[in-house]
Every structure is written in structure tokens, then in C-alpha cells.
Amino acid sequence: MRDRDVNEAALQQPPFAHWLGMKVTHVSRERVTAELAMREEFNNRFNIMHGGALMALADNLGGTGTMANLKPGQRTTTIESKTNFFAAVPMGDTAYAECTPLHRGRTTMVWQTKITRGDGKLCAVVTQTQLVMDAER
């Protein structure tokens, strides 16, 4: 489930993640994975998962991945996020998200999350920039 050197703060998911019902399945400094099962509350008119739910899933992973790399006292915030949608997650299926870093710098980190569904098809790619803030800022 985790590396030894992961910042402990990354292991506590925020209330929003609990409310969505996402299940974090791996946290290391190089990779974060999670699952979100489709259910009626996520329905976007057409019996598929709302894009907003997919973006929320990814956003949470990018934040978690960044936190796993922070030094004690540092914080992070998402400053921008970009999503391309390719395929739907239908009722009865699950969104599987894998988030890996494109860049881990001193001031910013950039993470990319690929979301697939049960048949392995790529449903969305989310790239986001996290600002790294020292405690005093």
C-alpha cells in the first residue's frame, strides 16, 4: 500500500474523497492508484459517470501524489488541471485511476492521471499542476 518514505499526510484522504467513495489502492512517491465505482449519484443524464466525478477522482490523486513527496511542514494546492475525455464509464462499471508524475520540482509538481474502465479502455487523461508551498507562505 505504501512506501516507507511517503509523507504520512498523504495517507489520510480528505472528506470529499470519502464522500465520493473513492478507494485509494496504492500510495507511493512515484504512483498513486484509486478506484471509483459508478453509481446512480454520478449519473450524467445518459447512465454514464459524470465528467465532474472523473475530474474529482483525478484531482484528488494528484494532490495525494504531491503530498507523498512533500517535506514536513510543506503544503500543496492545485493551480490548474486539464482533462481530455475519451470513453464513458457506464453503470455497473468502475473507474480505475493511475496517477504518475511528469515533473517533481521544488516549486511545482505536475501529475498525470490515466483513468480506465473494466475492459481496459482509456476513458480520460488528467494533467494537473500542484504548487508546493513552504509552511510560512
Q: Closer CB to a second copy, residue 2 or residue 131?
A: 131
Q: Closer CB to a second copy, residue 5 or residue 15?
A: 15
Q: Give the integer Cα–Cα distance in Å for 87 and 61.
A: 20
Candidates 26-34, 92-100, 104-112; binding stretch for a second copy (CB under 8 A) = 104-112
What is the DSSP secondary-structure string of 8-65? GGGGS--HHHHHHT-EEEEE-SS-EEEEEE--GGGB-SSSBB-HHHHHHHHHHHHHHH
Q: Does 60 bind a second copy (CB under 8 A)?
A: yes
Q: Closer CB to a second copy, residue 2 or residue 91?
A: 91
Q: Does 7 bind a second copy (CB under 8 A)?
A: no
Total residues in contact with a second copy, by rule CB under 8 A: 47
Residue type, 76: T
